Amino acid sequence: MPIYTCTAAQGSLTSEVKALLAAEITRIHVDINHVPPAYVNVVFSELPADSVFAGGQPATPLILTGWVRRGHPQEEATRLALELSSAIVRISGMDESRTMVVLQDGPARSAVEGGRILPEPGEEKEWLRRTGAA
């Protein structure tokens, strides 16, 4: 259901770090939003070092953006962002000042996964039961 994109300069993340980040992003999302792990998508986008800037200067940040379904309580969305931020710092070893987490939300009805319109938050169990994925 959600999709997270980790954007970094090429070579700044090892394969092991990527795997650890993907696992921890999935775990955090599942714990907070109560969806099956198989529905959490994590992709990595690596850009050439000469294509990444912060403050107009070459930089090597780690930026995590995510799309989640609108309707989760704000305190859960804030907790999600904070836990994701802590995880990327802990796992990547990057200084917190070089990291950013941005979550964007949209209506569930605006997204389709596996040919099915996504359920509203709180309706996952029924949706999974109807689709035979439970």
Secondary structure class of 88 (helix, strand, coil): helix
Closest of 132, 66, 54, 67 to residue 98, by C-alpha: 54
Which pLDDT score is estimated for 134? 56
Residues of the chain with pLDDT below 50 are none
Which pLDDT score is estimated for 111? 87
Which pLDDT score is estimated for 46? 96
pLDDT digits (tens, 9 = 90+) for 11-32: 999 999 999 999 999 999 999 9
Q: Which domains does the chain have, with CATH numbers?
A: 3-131 (3.30.429.10)
Range 123-128 contact pairs with CB under 8 angstroms and sequence separation of 24 or more: 124/34, 124/35, 128/36
Which pLDDT score is estimated for 133? 61
Say how far apart CA 96 and CA 77 lie, in whole Å.
20
Which pLDDT score is estimated for 95? 93
